[in-house]
Chain A
Amino acid sequence: MNGPGRIGRDETATLRFTFDGRSLCARPGDTLAAALLANGVGLVARSFKYHRPRGIMAAGVEEPNALVTVGEGGRTEPNTRATDVFVYEGMVARSQNRWPSLAFDLGAVNALAAPVLAAGFYYKTFFGPPARWMVYEKLIRRAAGLGKPPTLADPDRHQHRAAFCDVLVVGGGPAGLAAADDAARGGARVILVEQDRALGGCALRGDGEMPTSDAALRAAGVRILTRTTASGVWDHGFVTLAERLVEPGEAPPPGQPAQRLWHVRAERIVLATGAIERPVTFAGNDRPGVMLSQAVRTYIRRFDVLPGRRVVIATNNDDAYRTAEAVAAAGGEVVAILDSRPDFTEVARAAKERFRVHTNAFPHSTKGRSGRLRSIGADIWTERHSFDADLLAMSGGFTPVVHLHSQAGGKLDWRADIQAFVPGASAQAITSVGGAAGEVAPIGTNAVHLPHPKHSFVDFQNDVTAADIDLAWQEGYRSVEHLKRYTTLGMATDQGKTSNMAALARLASVAGVDIPQAGLTTFRAPFTPLALGALAGPDGGGHAAPRRRLALHDRHAALAPVWQPLGYWDRPRAYPAAGESLNDAAIREARAVRTSAGIIDVSTLAKFAVSGPDAAALLEMVCATGVAKLGVGRGRYTFMLRDDGMVMDDGTVWRLDETRWLLTSSTGGADRMEAHLSYVHRVLAPHLRVSVVAQQEHFAGIALAGPLAPTILAGLTGQAPPAHMGLAEASIAAVRVLILAASYSGERAFEIYAPGAIAGPVWDALDRATCAQGGCPYGLEALEFLRIEKGHVVIGAEADGRTTPHDLGLGRMLRKAGGYVGAQALGRPALSAPDRLQLVGLETAEASLPEGAMLVARAGAPVEGHVTSAAQRVLGQGGIALGLLAGGRARLGDRLIAASPTRGRHVAVTVTQPLFYDPEGERYRD
């Protein structure tokens, strides 16, 4: 028998699964990789760029080659490492990046084109003539790649959970178990996480003993999370853990989540994350049948799988000799041990009694067919040798897993004897133990022999060869960060777990420097790929940003409006009649406001009760307009600036009595305004005797607007309505209300406020009375038409955070004496430059003009401004808009083009005053 297979009879292989449609059996506890090898499957994948045949190289999460797609429909998980998924009944696995089949892949011709796709191919193509990219793009998109993402929604739930502990131990091998045991005995609250399904780590392949057991640790109070990966270590002991409750593609039990993302705050962290074995670099080292030495031991001892019958071992250390023993014990033949070190170590000398051991021996090439390894060429001292073998177990040394230590800001120290970085000074309360701390076999450091760098892979997953690194160096890439981006080295889904040290060593040798001088790229979370669903957790769909309900929501819902999200709320955009379009409905509603009356829910406006003897003083600091001189029972429009003089928000301010004020501001800016009021009061003016209470949602607000509004209001309240910018208290439908006579629409208008919980009858009364006069409720779209006609600015559209009061035509309202936030900045010369973007009106004979369009003098001319809000005239014909235009106030009458290439529209416009209706304001004054 030849090739991989199960050791002994396989009576316990009871789980059925499929790989590329072929039905196979696995033992419970098998990884997919173990099961494939047990079934004699060596060819598992095609490589990313050259479509080279690839098999299984590792036994853990570092696997670069054996990426498969697992699961079906919405549970499809592409790029799953076959070594990091446990077989379950009915599992469906497929190979990736091949067409038409894994064994016969047309893309493998890429391998012939390898010189074209060498390091820097993307850079050279991008920076070449555009036509070149156009040619290559389609080819590359089809040929290079990994698995395809699922197209259906994920049917499963993902959970988030928080936890706290004194000690978090990452890694359930002997070192981690000992650390958890110690900490628990000392009385600490301990969490132990292990990414594998079983505790044991290297003990699972027969290296070392478990110092304690799962049961003993649990009895000592340790919370053990298996199948859980410490995915990132962040600031101040904050660690994210990704727990798999089911395997990739597996359906969870009803009601159970598929994955759980833990947010753990740990006082101390112990990293027992072990070390990852490095491949040996030689030509054809990527062929199926070339595996890591420790992985071979794992398959033999943990899974009863012998990955090959005739085995050559290539090593630069003593650890690989254990693999020779494991192979022999399992009935395999150890053909030769190729030890790159010139002298026999004690271990090598002992092994010489049983095996053919060669020193100063380097593999230089492999031969094979149909995804099977046939023979290995080696240089031993000065002679060439060839060995018939179906498995090469390689060990190029061990790289401590310092990822989490480094993510947390820890320093790294270089250890020449293991040719690897080990944890140095920690930035947080983090200790590394065991293999992660550098307790690994030392390696020979004699010069590496590499006759065929072009076919010697360094980064297997991204198909980067030693020659690619040489080329990058020749082309002038000196920094390892540049090298990484130029060659794509270490940028695959495995983040170069097996490849980074080999690449650094190659770079250092080309550069003629030591590895520490060559530098190191940054370790980033997540340690292994993390599902987006796990990151989102329960915060998906409607829970991503929970919506708040208007107090009057049910009243609107009864009218079946078109809803529009605004801030935290959904508000009616318009109330179309059956068969009526949104735009027609909005125009009908707006015309009702202009000709009779309309009502609109304005409950979401921010409201602040400001009271106390110094209330006026605080408001004068926050508001850039005059405030303190307002008489009791009066209000006015106001706006607030940032320190840099830009308009932050606007609203109205009302004096309810001598020391009680009400400030309103925009819906979306409510949180910011709350914080700003607190900042001005508590930080800038703590001596002020004033209290500020945010009342945004406490009061529902209904605006009643239109020429008939005073009549309607008088009918409902039985009293004369307040004058423009006056206020009154009254009763509507037996509910006490506050009436503010402010107009946003340009018509006579009143904002009527009542506590949200009892505002329903007020809406009902207003609705009945308004409809009886031929009016109707109106939505945000009509409101927008009305305010654009009146030239009122909106925070976020015209006041976009870069506009001063002068830019918006509000300069004359500024308080001359200053003393408000932003006053000092307004004196900066740049803020009164004549070519600043200024608010203008724009009009066109066309029915509408595109929002966001650029304003240009003619096609191809420089952009001079843009359209901020567009509408159609409510009563007249044609389109109108507000816009920001360079030096706009001096350009009335100019003819420009509003150009929107994205909408394919170019509309001729004329610059006007930003006021299209009732310029004297006669309609809303008394």
Chain B
Amino acid sequence: MMRIDCPHCGPRAQSEFGYERTLDSIVTLDMPADEAMARLYARANPRGLDDELWRHGLGCRQWIVLRRHRVTHEIVGVAAFDPAILS
């Protein structure tokens, strides 16, 4: 079980968190259909570091972004979700 350092609550067990999706697969509602579908079905899915959207559902309930290695599970950064990255 991973340990995630919530920017609001501090280090907590993974079981308190829920994985949502990678940042590059967020589909905003004003996105053209082609781009929306590319985000859902043609993601980069790197074998390495990726940015992921998680929620501290059994804690502060805030959305956070993990920069996480998808093979080793190493977490190199955690930050509160910043909506500005979508615009």
Evaluate contact between A427 and B72: CB separation under 8 angstroms.
yes
Q: Mark B33-48, 1 if CB is under 8 A from A, else 0.
A: 1001100100000000
Are the C-beta atoms of A824 and B37 separated by less than 8 Å? yes
Asked if B37 contacts A819 (CB within 8 A), the reply is no
Evaluate contact between B3 and A684: CB separation under 8 angstroms.
no
In the complex where A643-B40, A675-B18, A828-B37 touch, is A237 in contact with B3 (Cβ < 8 A)? yes
Instruction: Tell me the nearest residue of chain B to A263, going by C-beta.
Output: B1
Decide yes or no: A236 and B29 within 8 Å by CB, A679-B20, A683-B53, A683-B83 being known contacts: no
Distance of A819 Cα from B72 Cα, bound (Å): 38
**Shortest distance between the CB of B65 and any CB in chain A (Å):** 10
- Chain B residue contacts of A682, Cβ below 8 A: 62-63, 81, 83
The proximity string for A residues 677-714 relative to B, scoring 1 for CB distances below 8 Å and 0 otherwise, is 01100111111000000000000000000000000000
Q: Is B73's beta carbon under 8 Å from chain A?
A: yes
- Does A827 sit at the interface, judged by CB under 8 A? yes
What is the distance, in angstroms, from B81's C-beta to the closest C-beta of chain A?
Answer: 6
Q: Is A823 in the interface zone, CB < 8 Å from B?
A: yes
List which A641-690 residues lie within 8 A (CB) of chain B. 643-644, 675, 678-679, 682-687
Instruction: Please indicate the chain B residues that have their CB under 8 angstroms from the CB of A687 in the complex.
Output: 83
Does A118 have its Cβ within 8 Å of any Cβ on chain B? no
CA distance A234 to B3 in the complex (A): 11
**How many A-B contacts if CB must be within 8 Å?**
74
Asked whether, in the complex, the Cβ of B55 is within 8 Å of the Cβ of A684, the reply is no
B59 at the interface (CB under 8 A from A): no
Q: If the complex has contacts A234-B1, A265-B3, A686-B83, are A678 and B61 also in contact, measured as CB distance less than 8 A?
A: yes
Bound together, the chains give a CA A821 to CA B30 distance in angstroms of 10
Closest approach, in angstroms, between the C-beta of A354 and any C-beta of chain B?
Answer: 53
In the assembled complex, which residues on chain A have CB atoms less than 8 Å from the CB atom of B33?
Answer: 824-825, 827-828
B77 at the interface (CB under 8 A from A): no
Q: Tell me if B3 and A238 are in contact (CB < 8 A).
A: yes
Given A643-B40, A825-B37, answer yes or no on A621-B1 (Cβ-Cβ < 8 Å).
no
B 50-68 to A, binary, CB cutoff 8 A, 1 in contact else 0 = 0001010100011100000
Closest-CB distance, B16 to chain A (whole angstroms): 13
Chain A window 393-409, contacts with chain B (Cβ cutoff 8 Å), 1 for yes, 0 for no: 00000000000000001
Indicate whether A20 reaches chain B with its CB closer than 8 angstroms: no
A643 to B27: give the CA distance in the assembly, Å.
Answer: 7
Give the chain A neighbours of B81 by CB distance below 8 A.
Answer: 682-683
With both beta carbons as reference points, the residue of chain A lying nearest to B5 in the complex is identified as A236
Question: B9 within 8 Å of A by Cβ?
Answer: no
When C-beta atoms are compared, the residue in chain B nearest to A620 turns out to be B29
How far does the alpha carbon of A824 sit from the alpha carbon of B37 in the complex, in Å? Answer: 8
Q: A236-B73, A678-B61 are in contact. Are A823 and B2 (CB under 8 A)?
A: no
Of all chain B residues, which has the CB nearest A681? B63
In the complex, A237→B28 CA distance in Å?
37
Residue of B nearest to A682 (CB): B63
- Chain B residue nearest in CB terms to A823: B29
Asked, given contacts A621-B29, A683-B26, whether A678 binds B40 with beta carbons under 8 Å apart, the answer is no
For B83, what are the chain A residues with a Cβ–Cβ distance below 8 Å? 682-683, 686-687
The interface bits of chain A over 813-838 (1 if a CB of B lies within 8 angstroms of the residue's CB, else 0) are 00000111101110110000000000
Cα of A828 to Cα of B72 in the assembled complex, Å: 36
Flag whether A235 is at the interface (Cβ < 8 A).
yes
In the assembled complex, the Cα of A517 lies from the Cα of B3 at a distance in Å of 35
In the assembled complex, B31 has its CB within 8 A of some CB on chain A = yes
Within the complex, the shortest CB–CB distance from B4 to chain A, in Å, comes to 9
Q: Which residue of B lies closest to A683 (CB)?
A: B63
Q: Give the distance to chain B from A47, nearest Cβ to Cβ, in Å.
A: 38
For window 793-823 of A, CB contacts with B under 8 Å fall at 818-821, 823
Nearest-Cβ distance from residue B28 to partner chain A, whole angstroms: 6
B residues less than 8 Å from A823 (CB atoms): 29
Docked CA distance A747–B86 (Å): 47
A621–B1 Cα distance when bound, in Å, is 34
Can you name the residue of chain A whose Cβ is closest to the Cβ of B53?
A: A683
Instruction: Report B67 CB to chain A, min CB distance, Å.
Output: 15
**B20 engages A825 (CB within 8 Å):** no
Q: How far is the CA of A688 from the CA of B33 in the complex (A)?
A: 23
CB atoms of A235 and B73 under 8 A apart: yes
Residues in chain A near residue B1, CB distance under 8 A = 234-236, 238, 263
Contact with A along B6-31 (1 / 0, CB 8 A): 00000001100010100000111101
The docked-state distance in angstroms from the alpha carbon of A678 to that of B81 is 13
- Contact partners of B2 in chain A: CB under 8 A: 235-236, 238
Distance, CA A236 to CA B75, complexed state (A): 9
Interface flags, A711-731, vs B, CB<8A=1, else 0: 000000000000000000000
Chain B hits for A679, CB < 8 A: 20, 55, 63
Nearest B residue to A671 via CB reads B57
Is the pair A409, B57 in contact by a Cβ cutoff of 8 Å? no
What is the CA–CA distance of A828 and B1 in the complex, to the nearest angstrom?
38
Report the separation of the CA atoms of residues A807 and B4 in the bound assembly, to the nearest whole angstrom: 41
Within the complex, what minimum Cβ distance (angstroms) separates B41 from chain A?
9
Contact between chains at B29 and A821 (CB < 8 Å): yes
Give per-residue flags for A236-249: 1 if the beta carbon is below 8 A from chain B beta carbons, else 0: 11100000000000
Bound together, the chains give a CA A679 to CA B31 distance in angstroms of: 17
Which of A682, A819, A828: most chain B Cβ within 10 A? Answer: A682
Which residues between 247 and 294 of chain A lie within 8 Å of chain B, taking CB atoms?
A: 263, 265
Q: For the complex, what is the distance from the CA of A682 to the CA of B65, rounded to whole Å?
A: 13
Q: In the assembly, what is the distance between CA of A409 and CA of B29, in Å? A: 40
User: Which chain B positions have C-beta within 8 A of A234?
Assistant: 1
Q: How far is the CA of A686 from the CA of B62 in the complex (A)?
A: 12
Complex Cα–Cα for A749 and B31 (A): 41
Contact of B3 with A824 in the complex, beta carbons under 8 Å: no
Q: Name which residue of chain B comes closest to A684, CB basis.
A: B28
Distance in Å: Cβ of B7 to nearest Cβ of chain A: 14
Q: Please report the C-alpha to C-alpha distance between residue A819 and residue B29 in the assembled complex, in whole angstroms.
A: 6
Closest CB-CB distance, A261 to chain B, in whole Å?
13
Residue contact A824 to B20, C-beta cutoff 8 Å = no
6 more contacts with CB within 8 A, not counting A675-B55, A824-B31, are A235-B2, A235-B3, A236-B73, A238-B2, A682-B83, A825-B40
Would you list 6 pairs from A and B whose C-beta atoms are within 8 A, ordered by A residue?
A: A427-B74, A643-B36, A644-B40, A678-B55, A683-B63, A824-B31
Q: Which 9 A-B pairs have the closest CB atoms?
A: A824-B36, A236-B3, A824-B33, A686-B83, A235-B2, A235-B73, A238-B1, A643-B27, A236-B2
- Residues of chain A having any CB pair with chain B under 8 Å: 234-238, 263, 265, 409, 427, 621, 643-644, 675, 678-679, 682-687, 818-821, 823-825, 827-828
